[in-house]
Homo-oligomer: A and B are copies of this chain.
Amino acid sequence: MTNRSKRSEQTVPCHACPVRKLTRFQPLPESQQAVVQQYRAGQTLLPAKHHLYREGELHGNIYTLFSGWVMLYKTLSNGGRQILRYALPGDFISFQADLQAPMNHSAQTLTECTLCVFPRQNLIQMLQTHPELGLQIAWITARDMTLGQEYLVNIGRKNAKERLAFLFTELFQRMGMHDPKIGNSIPFPMTQEDIADTLGLTLVHVNRTLRNLREEGLINLSHHTLTILDYAQLAELAGFNNDTLATDQPLL
């Protein structure tokens, strides 16, 4: 149990992780979907371990992920890596505050991926012609930011076991496996090193903590498949709260 400031003045209520509300793919209203179609430049199929773009590069496209997993990360001067989040089908990739500037992070496929490609210029044009889409983007960005904040809490204030538990429940939820039926599995394309770089731990310690979770019968992770054996206990460990029922509605 690490760094838990138990301040006495404990008036502030805890309302645990609302990742649930971040999980589902929010389809655009039909009217807007048609509009968006006009601006896309087609679809790409990329192999696993392929970089969409790298930190520091000027990059011309924006993407929507149709199938597969993409990981977004940043690199440190000493060779370290911090994974920021995993993009799942439906996610929007490579949007950043300054569309002209070099990318502030890298994106690499973990599996084979199908992506819908929008040239940046098209996006800009689209936003000029259909300004109401700006708000959609604000909504998506705010949702991604909330997930990032959950990650911050996870890394900053939880021990290794709890961090693992959180990552697993988060991905399980985002994959759309809300079923109460226990013992479900999801594909899990990342390596233990990836997990380590997501959670601010080392590869070795991730491995040991995984064994620990396995021995306690909470999960099983092998051959790139994650099986949740005891969701309730895992969510409890993670400080993950399903109560926060989500209205997945967009802003307006």
Q: Is A13 interfacial (CB 8 A cutoff)?
A: yes
Q: Is A84 interfacial (CB 8 A cutoff)?
A: yes
Q: Which of A4, A14, A21, A152 has the most B CB atoms < 10 Å from its CB? A: A152
Contact with B along A209-252 (1 / 0, CB 8 A): 00000000000000000000000000000010000101101011
Closest beta carbon of chain B to A142's beta carbon, Å: 4
A101 proximity list for chain B (CB < 8 A): 18, 21, 246-247
Q: Is A29 interfacial (CB 8 A cutoff)?
A: no
A153 to B15, CA, bound (A): 25
- A interface residues, tally (CB under 8 Å): 80
Contact call B127/A135, Cβ cutoff below 8 A: yes
Q: A5-B193, A77-B239 are in contact. Are A12 and B106 (CB under 8 A)?
A: yes
Q: Is A56 interfacial (CB 8 A cutoff)?
A: yes
Q: Which of A15, A22, A77, A101 has the most B CB atoms < 10 Å from its CB? A: A15
Q: Is A112 interfacial (CB 8 A cutoff)?
A: no
Between-chain CB contacts (< 8 Å), 7 pairs: A5-B79, A5-B197, A76-B239, A134-B134, A135-B135, A141-B141, A141-B145
